[in-house]
Structure 1
Amino acid sequence: MRRVVISGAGIYSTIGLDLNSVADSLYSGRSGIGIDERRKEFGFRSALSGMLDRPNLKGLLSRRERVGLPVQGEYAYMATMEALGNAKIDLDFLKSHEVGILYGNDSSSIPVIEAIDVMRDKRDTSLIGSGSIFQSMNSTVSMNLSVILKLRGINLTISGACASSSHAIGLAHLLISGGFQDIIICGGAQEINAESMGSFDGLGAFSIRQDEPAAASRPFDRERDGLVPSGGAATVVVESLESALKRGAPILGEIKGYGFSSNGEHISVPNVEGPKASLVKALKAAGMQASDIDYVNAHATSTPVGDLNEGKALLEVFGACNTPVSSTKGMTGHEMWMGGASEIIYSLLMMERGFVAPNLNFSAPDEALAQLNVVPETLEMELNTVLSNSFGFGGTNSTLIVSKFRK
């Protein structure tokens, strides 16, 4: 089995549009959450949202390349170009080597809605536009990026709800360690628009703490009342160690383990056994004990049941080690399909700079989680190995373990 490393990272996030600005936000505990006024017009119960401007790709991509990209695809392009740049991979390299893409995406709402609006209004499907089908397919990001970047390796979209991009990285690890590919571009993209969020709001899943948006997302806090939807895109370049060393590429971290499981119960309510199984499987794959993990980036989205059950699973595995835990979703909100990849990047930045980002808005735990070592403020400490959880609807669970590279 070959060793697998991360040689590049890029991000387009509510807390920063590149790695450096994101690292600064993580350290200072800056929130990217605000109020989306359009949601009030639509009758949303909660107008809370991660806030992110749309990038301008004119001059970066041709019109033909732009026409098939939905907004989350634009985010993904920005994140991917940053990742390729710091991995020392250019377009000439991509044309002459077999590079794959595994990208997490689980919806593309706006193009579907716009196409239906045209059909209803004009009664003429020829007016929908040639780019609509490529924007609306679930595989839109991997499809578009593979063409723009001239990729010739594996080309798949991973659709696993809010664990999508974590699974993408985990599956890349398996393919590369098994010798099937040398380099795979991995990540996740999430649209932020109101149109994609109405059904979530209808479930009552969102926080309604709208008077103070920065205090609304409260992972593990006793007063949490729901998640805050968010999005953007995050990309990592996953590569065999041999390939990275041969290229003289920077090595940001080594993927040590990938764990996964399914809860096998309720479609939207998580349990304890599924997340615990994913944690245990990741540790086993890495050949590690719980005491080898320096920090856990929790999935914790700020929902009452989800945080409680993940916390119980973490206590069963890490309770005796008093491992520091925080959820960066206190700052970013829940980045959904993007979250697994972005939280690996957040963890890599913490590991590089020697700190644990704060679990924002944490004042007191549930009684059942009193022994969980939640980090409420920025903690400076050396991190050699980090673990990141991502869970999703349908009971899909993914856990990744990443360490500093050691020869």
Structure 2
Amino acid sequence: MKRRVVITGMGIWSCLGTSLEAVRDALYQGRSGIIFSPERKKAGFRSALCADVPKADLKPYLDRNTRQLMPEEAQYAYMATRQALSQARLDQDYIDCHEVGLIYGNDSVAEATMTALDRFRQTGSTAACGGGAIFKSMNSTVTMNLACLFHLRGINLTASAACASGSQSIGLAWMLIRNGLQDCIVCGGAQEANMYSVAAFDGLMAFSTREDAPQRASRPFDRDRDGLVPGGGAATLVVESYEHAVRRGAPILAEIIGWGFSGNGDHISTPNISGPARSLELCFLNSGVSPHDIGYVNAHATSTRAGDGREAEAIHQVFGSYLVPVTSTKGQTGHEMWMAGASEAIYSILMMQNDFIAGSLNFDHPDEHTACVNVIPETTDTHFDMFLSNSFGFGGTNSTLIIGKVKK
């Protein structure tokens, strides 16, 4: 018998806010977190647009030696995880006496790696890298730090799957718990927000250049979209079996109904339609629900020409004549990359809890590829019990989650 899998805690560190309440309000109000960065323009960026992610202050919680081992994204993840554990009522005494796992999405540590290697090249000595450099520069730095800080002794795994990393972490947690291999897993995704992490993206001319109107720059599905805007931060969810949550007396926020995934097996950066469509189809197959059960789709749509159009066609292929409401919260946040799948799950749960769908910011006109889906341009007060969330990444890695309200 497969076990039911529920979400009992959430935490967020985002350009929309650093608490669930602040993020909920920003979503409802259609507030953008995108700014123009003079620092990036001076450094030589073609596009100086980015999300305005607050710096994390860990001094009240951790000593200096501990903080020295944590790059930017691990700091964001620590703050988000504190929130999630608190909401889930998982205190340290409980964690110390039980096996709690950790799966977190992360796919780069650019600034920490660059800093250590610059010191080495400048001095001609590897000793200049510093004692903590290796722990800050490994891709697994987030899980390594969180597992040690919170004494998590279950599975310890980094999901490194480009922009599907955060979603894959939730899906993997769902699979392990559903099959009885773990009772409780902390999962999520983190993305460093410094300019070095996205310099190569800017070199690919992947970013919007609408610098005169930063909050109008990220335009998922819109006819006049001209590229994405980079974001960052961290999002954490506590995921556990329904029985384990009930036994603990934990607050049950939502249930993970199903997970689907696929690989495009095609071009390394240009998406296709068949790969994303298979991810959706497998998610429906694994969940046992039908497209008509879905009240909202949180699309991956990053505001790129090819990506948005092909995702729209994949959604249309799977949903057919059913015009399910579709938005992309990236109109407000930009593309949060490795954290996006986790943060967008939280954004969608907040909407589901509060009976609204945040409008797809800056969607004014569809084009010939995006007109096939029902994109909601403005915040709409509406009730829904189940949503689908897409995350697609470079290399053709696709992940789809279906999450719903818990039925007793």
Identity %: 57
5 Å-filtered alignment, 1:308-387, equals 308-387=309-388
Q: Deviations over 1:362-392 (max 9, x none)?
A: 0010123323110000011111000000000
Aligned partner of 1:284: which letter? Answer: L
- Residue of structure 2 equivalent to 1:28: 29
Are residue 144 (structure 1) and residue 145 (structure 2) matched?
A: yes
Q: State the shift of 1:191 in Å.
A: 0.5
**What is the distance in 1 between the residues matched to 2:36 and 2:101?**
38
Q: Deviations over 1:236-294 (max 9, x none)?
A: 00100000000111111000000000001000000000000000100111101110100
- Residue of structure 1 equivalent to 2:131: 130
Gap regions ≥5 residues in structure 2? none
- Residue of structure 2 equivalent to 1:287: 288
Q: State the shift of 1:124 in Å.
A: 2.2
**What is the distance in 1 between the residues matched to 2:24 and 2:179?**
33
Are residue 182 (structure 1) and residue 159 (structure 2) matched?
A: no
Give SS of 2:320's match.
helix
- Residue of structure 1 equivalent to 2:265: 264
Q: State the shift of 1:324 in Å.
A: 0.1
- Residue of structure 1 equivalent to 2:8: 7
Aligned partner of 1:375: which letter? Answer: I
Q: Deviations over 1:319-341 (max 9, x none)?
A: 31110000000000000000000
- Residue of structure 2 equivalent to 1:169: 170
**What is the distance in 2 between the residues matched to 1:375 and 1:132?**
45
**What is the distance in 2 between the residues matched to 1:230 and 1:319?**
32
Aligned partner of 2:252: which letter? Answer: I
Aligned partner of 1:4: which letter? Answer: V
Q: State the shift of 1:64 in Å.
A: 2.7
Q: State the shift of 1:41 in Å.
A: 2.0
Are residue 121 (structure 1) and residue 131 (structure 2) matched?
A: no
CA contact (8 A) 1:319 1:371 kept: no
Q: State the shift of 1:53 in Å.
A: 2.0
Give SS of 2:44's match.
coil
Q: State the shift of 1:59 in Å.
A: 2.2
Q: Deviations over 1:73-105 (max 9, x none)?
A: 100000000000000011111111100000000
**What is the distance in 1 between the residues matched to 2:54 and 2:22?**
15
TM-score, normalised to structure 1, is: 0.99
Aligned partner of 2:102: which letter? Answer: I
**What is the distance in 2 between the residues matched to 1:334 and 1:371?**
23
Q: Which consecutive aligned stretches of 4+ in structure 1 deviate over 6 angstroms post-superposition?
A: none
Aligned partner of 2:280: which letter? Answer: L
CA contact (8 A) 1:55 1:74 kept: yes
Give SS of 2:374's match.
coil
- Residue of structure 2 equivalent to 1:225: 226
**What is the distance in 1 between the residues matched to 2:398 and 2:347?**
19
**What is the distance in 1 between the residues matched to 2:143 and 2:402?**
24
Aligned partner of 1:204: which letter? Answer: M
Aligned partner of 2:342: which letter? Answer: A
**What is the distance in 2 between the residues matched to 1:235 and 1:96?**
21
- Residue of structure 2 equivalent to 1:199: 200
Q: Deviations over 1:131-162 (max 9, x none)?
A: 11111000000000000001110001000000
Gap regions ≥5 residues in structure 1? none
Q: State the shift of 1:126 in Å.
A: 1.8
**What is the distance in 2 between the residues matched to 1:370 and 1:174?**
35
Give SS of 2:231's match.
coil
Give SS of 1:321's match.
coil
Are residue 397 (structure 1) and residue 390 (structure 2) matched?
A: no
**What is the distance in 2 between the residues matched to 1:134 and 1:173?**
28
CA contact (8 A) 1:83 1:236 kept: yes
**What is the distance in 2 between the residues matched to 1:316 and 1:180?**
35
Aligned partner of 1:314: which letter? Answer: I
**What is the distance in 1 between the residues matched to 2:126 and 2:224?**
49
**What is the distance in 1 between the residues matched to 2:384 and 2:141?**
36
Q: State the shift of 1:39 in Å.
A: 1.3
**What is the distance in 1 between the residues matched to 2:127 and 2:205?**
38
**What is the distance in 2 between the residues matched to 1:218 and 1:290?**
26
Aligned partner of 2:117: which letter? Answer: I
Give SS of 1:369's match.
coil
Are residue 79 (structure 1) and residue 80 (structure 2) matched?
A: yes
Give SS of 2:78's match.
helix
Aligned partner of 2:285: which letter? Answer: K
CA contact (8 A) 2:164 2:340 kept: yes
**What is the distance in 1 between the residues matched to 2:368 and 2:397?**
27
